[in-house]
Structures are given as C-alpha cells and as structure tokens.
Amino acid sequence: MERSKKSQIEKYQAGPRKGSAPKVQAGHKVSGARALMESIKLHGGEVVFGLPGGVMLPAYDVLYDDGGISHILVGHEQGGCHMADGFARATGKVGVCFATSGPGATNLVTGLCNAHMDSVPVVAVTGQVRTTVLGKDAFQEADITGITMPVTKHNYLVSDPNSIPRIIAEAFYIARTGRPGPVLVDIPMDVALAQIEYHPVTEVKIRSYNPEVPLRLDNLDEAARLIAEAKRGVIYVGQGAIISGAWREVRELARKTQFPTTTTLLAKGTMDETDPLSLGMLGMHGTAYANFAIRDCDLLIAVGARFDDRVTGKVDAWAPGAKIIHIDIDPAEIGKIYIPDVALNGDCRAVLQALLPLVAERGPTEWNEQIERWKQEFPLWYPKGEDRVYPQAVCEELWNVTKGEAIVTTGVGQHQMWAAQFYRCKYPRTFITSGGLGTMGFGLPAAIGCAVGVPDRPVWCVDGDGSFIMTSEELMPAVQHRIPVKVAIINNFCLGMVRQWQSLFWDQRLSAIDLSYQPDFVKLAEAYGAVGMRVTRPEEIRPAIEKANEINDRPVVVDFHVVKDENVLPMIPAGQTIEQMMVEKPR
C-alpha cells in the first residue's frame, strides 16, 4: 500500500529506537558523547548523515536510545557530507554528518571542500584515536584537522571533554554566521567516553570572530546616485543573496529600477526565471542575452557574487564600460577581482533593505527593448521534431511537468548546464548543485539531503551517467528510508563535458571518455529496491516523468538515452570574452 510522502518522512525521521534516554539536565553527569548529542540537538541539529566505526561507537551508543535526533546510514562518507550539504542548502539550516577516524574522516574531504567553496553551513563530527596514542601512527589514525584546515571555515581537535558543549555551540555558530561554511570537530575516543558535568552553552562569543559588519551609510547614497544615473543597468546576483534571504529585496530592486537581472548557477531562483526581467544564468554556459547585457551595461550591481572565472572569462574585457556596485558580506571578496566604484560590505538583505528606499521607481526603457530583441534573436534552443531524445528536451519537459515546483539537484557536467538552462526556477533554494568545486557525484546524495529537509516538495536529481556512477550506492539509504527522490540520468554513454572540450579544443582526439560499458541503470535501481525505467524515444519523456512523480514510497531512476554528440551552447571558451561566445541559432 502506497503511503503519502509526509508519512514516510515522519517515519524515518522518528526512526526505530531501542529505548528511551532520560532527559539530560544541567549539572548531570554524562559522557562526552552524550554531551555531544545534547549539544547538537540544542543548536538545531535534526538529522545526522553518517557511517559508524570503532572510535565513533560512544556517539552511536548514545544514538541507540536517543529519539531526539534522526540518523541516516549512508553508503559512503562522502555521500553523507553531500547529504548534509543538500539538507543545508534546501533548508537554510546547518547540516550534520558523522564519520569515524582514518579513512572515514578522509572520505569527508571532498564533501567538505565542496561545502567550503559554495559557502554551505555543515558541521562534521569525526571520531579520533585515543589521546594516549595520538601521533604514534595508531590504527586508523589520520591528522584530519591538519588535512581539512584548507577546506573548512574552522576546525577543532577536542582534548578536554568539558569543552564539548562550548565547541559544538561555536561550531554551529561559525558554520551559519557571516559567510557560512563547514566546520569539523574531531573527538578522540577517550574524550567521548570521559564523564563530565554537563552544562549547556547557548550564548557564543568569540573574541577573534565578529561576523557582524557595520554598514557605511555614505556609500549607500553614492550607490543610489549611480543607479539613478544609469541607462543600461544590470543586476548580477550570486548565492550570497540566497544565503542572506534577500530574494524578495532583489526582486524589488529589479522592479523599481527595471534593470534586467541575471544570476549565477548557485543563485538560480533568486529571481523568478519566468519574469520578463530575468536573464537566466550568465557566464560560460549562460544565456547569450545575459552575456550581451553584461557586455553593454553601464552599471553592474553585484549582489552576493564573487566574480568567479566561469562568470567573467577574460577579466579585463568583462563589463568593460560599467561602473560597479558590489554588495557582499565577505570583505575579502570586495576588490579581489574588480575594484568597485561603490563597495557595500555587509549582509545582502540588510544592505538592500537600506538601499531600496533611496531608489526611485522607473518604467521600462530602450534598454529593456534591446534585451527583448536579444531574447528573440538568441533563445535557448535545440532541434525538435526528430526521433531522438535531446537532453535539453528532458530538462524542459521536467520543468513543464513539475511546473517549476520541484527541488532540482544535479551532478556536474553537461547535464548540469542543460538543467540550469532549461529548468526555470521560481523560488530560491530549489536548484542545488556543486558550483565552485564542480564535484561529480554530488547530485544523488544532495537530493536525499534535500528530501529529508524539505519532505513536502518533490525532489529530482538531474544527473549524468558518469556522475551517477560515482555515488549510486546512496540508493541504498534512499530505499531503506523510503526517500522518494527521482533521478533523471542524462545518459550519453560518455563523459560528455570532457568529450565536448576534446571535440572543440583538442582536435577531436577523444581520450578516456567512453562509458559504453556502464551498468544497466534500470537493473541497478531494481537491485537496490528502487524503481527503474528507460526512455529511448521523445514521446516517452513526459509519461516517464509523470509516472515517476506518482511513486512516493521509494526512489525512482529514469535512464534517458540521449543524443551522444550534443554540445552545451552557448559557450564562452575558458578565459575568453563574450566576443568569442559560441551560439547556435534556431534553424
């Protein structure tokens, strides 16, 4: 009998418990592991994605009879970190993952680096060998704090069990405040076993860390003046606007100024992409009209964006005639790539709330008419009417069926760009993908984290065959916990983006991209207990998506066999300018 999605989520969030742990009061004698779990709950931890091992057994023993926090047993620690990452991006809360020492901890590194590059609040707790053998090459010992120092916002090696409540409080605070990021807490086994007098820590003050940035009001007046004088303004939005919850303010700024608005890959949904003022995504595989608008604008308002290389290409030829207003909470980002004419260092939402009253309303101008002409002349396009499955058609039909209401995650590669182009997001936190690090395999575990965090919204993972292979083991926890994620594999039987680059820039010398010996994904899904489907004809695309949407008691994998030699266009070659943009016009 099929259950509703809500009841399934409640079922695995509640989880089977063997007993009932007594409520811990301040002053009670508890183990370090119990103090850890109580502190995680106190600071908003709802679910842990993890995989146990010897030195993590104290924490897992506490989980045995603690009904206050849920646990998802993952197939691989990297997948667990990506699940915590997806949970955090979809909910705005801190994601939590556990791993044991040695290889368990080192398996988190890619996930932590991914979260660090994309400013995602994750707290990772790792077990460590006993303090008495630290530094002596004990079994499964690894210097995980040293290893992860470059890829975390902060990390801790806990030596005093009494410090656990304070450290966990600080870890959550550091992870979610200012520019968010991952924090790792490494706890030796004897520290986790030690008995302490538990005193919860609710207030955090760190002398060396002050994420509150005072706003300079004189810069606001100058920004308002530049906006009033601009004839061809563009609003360029990065993920910082989503992190700060500034999407309403971004839309209000666009409405008042009538400036066309473009977003980075990670900021999709900040601006409703069905709005006439939306330019979609900009950059290497952005829309042609977004890139033309950047080229010809006289004012660029950057909101929570860092001018990364996939956006700018050749730095000194990007937005050549524009004055720049840069709004960002991280002072290190302001002036790193471009020195702005006006710097507004602070939380994006707070800055925009202060700026909006100073901005006068205006109507559409000749600039808006030019944008519309570009949209008509250079639309996103792919061949239609052929008896072949085009990857763009899959992404577009997914949007048509879900009406833009789903959360979409992706792996990394061509499928990621097609999804970004053809799945138009209406809301923030609904397009979850790996940006800065470009981590293949991110899509499926991130989708699971999203589904756990936001159980009332359908979750689709648009993945590539190469990307899906990397973390397909995470179908196991999805089946176990009846998490109804749907996976659309854009299967071109090769490493598609590598093939595209080799075809365009390496004289078609196709090297090490063949994935024709991949598993049968339908049988693989069924082997895990999921539903598997295959699509090989265009008329099968919509029925398969609709059928997948009806299944809400297990994951679904739909293997779309698509045109193998299709390229992602538009494309600005790496390090080049908009003048070198490859565009395919409708024919």
Tell the burial category of 521 from Cβ atoms under 10 Å away from its Cβ (0-12, 13-18, 19+). buried
Q: Measure the CA–CA gap between 309 and 239, rounded to whole angstroms.
A: 15
* Tally of CB atoms within 10 A around 194: 19
pLDDT (0 to 100) of residue 20: 59
For the record, the structure tokens of 147 come out as 């290893």
* In contact, 81 and 124? CB cutoff 8 Å: yes
Cis status, amide bond into 364, omega within 30 of 0: no
pLDDT digits (tens, 9 = 90+) for 370-406: 999 999 999 999 999 899 999 999 999 999 999 999 9
pLDDT (0 to 100) of residue 21: 64
User: Residues, the chain, total?
Assistant: 587
pLDDT digits (tens, 9 = 90+) for 108-118: 999 999 999 99
Grouped pLDDT means (10 residues each) for the chain, 587 residues: 40 46 81 97 96 97 88 98 98 98 98 98 98 94 98 98 98 97 98 97 93 81 97 98 97 98 98 97 97 98 96 94 96 95 95 97 97 97 94 98 97 98 98 97 98 97 98 98 98 97 96 97 98 98 98 98 96 94 86
pLDDT (0 to 100) of residue 65: 84
Place of tokens 């986790």: 192
Q: Measure the CA–CA gap between 283 and 309, rounded to whole angstroms.
A: 9
Q: At what angle do helices 366-377 and 288-296 cross, to 10 degrees?
A: 150
Average pLDDT of the chain to the nearest whole number: 94
Give the predicted TM-score (pTM) of the model. Answer: 0.95
Q: Measure the CA–CA gap between 490 and 395, rounded to whole angstroms.
A: 9
Strands 342-345 and 407-410: unpaired
pLDDT (0 to 100) of residue 390: 98
* Tally of CB atoms within 10 A around 565: 10
Strands 195-197 and 29-31: antiparallel
SS3 content of the chain, % helix, strand, coil (to 5): 40, 15, 40
Q: One-letter amino acid identity for 107?
A: N
Edge-to-edge strand list for the sheet holding 47-50: 70-73, 47-50, 95-99, 122-128, 183-188, 154-157
pLDDT digits (tens, 9 = 90+) for 41-63: 999 999 999 999 999 999 999 99
Q: Measure the CA–CA gap between 381 and 409, rounded to whole angstroms.
A: 22
Q: One-letter amino acid identity for 76?
A: H
Cα 31 to chain centroid, rounded: 35
All domains of the chain in start order, with CATH: 5-197 (3.40.50.970), 217-377 (3.40.50.1220), 391-569 (3.40.50.970)
In 253-406, at which residue ranges do the beta strands (DSSP E only) sit? 261-263, 278-281, 299-303, 323-328, 342-345
pLDDT (0 to 100) of residue 58: 97
In 475-546, at which residue ranges do the beta strands (DSSP E only) sit? 486-491, 531-535
pLDDT (0 to 100) of residue 25: 81
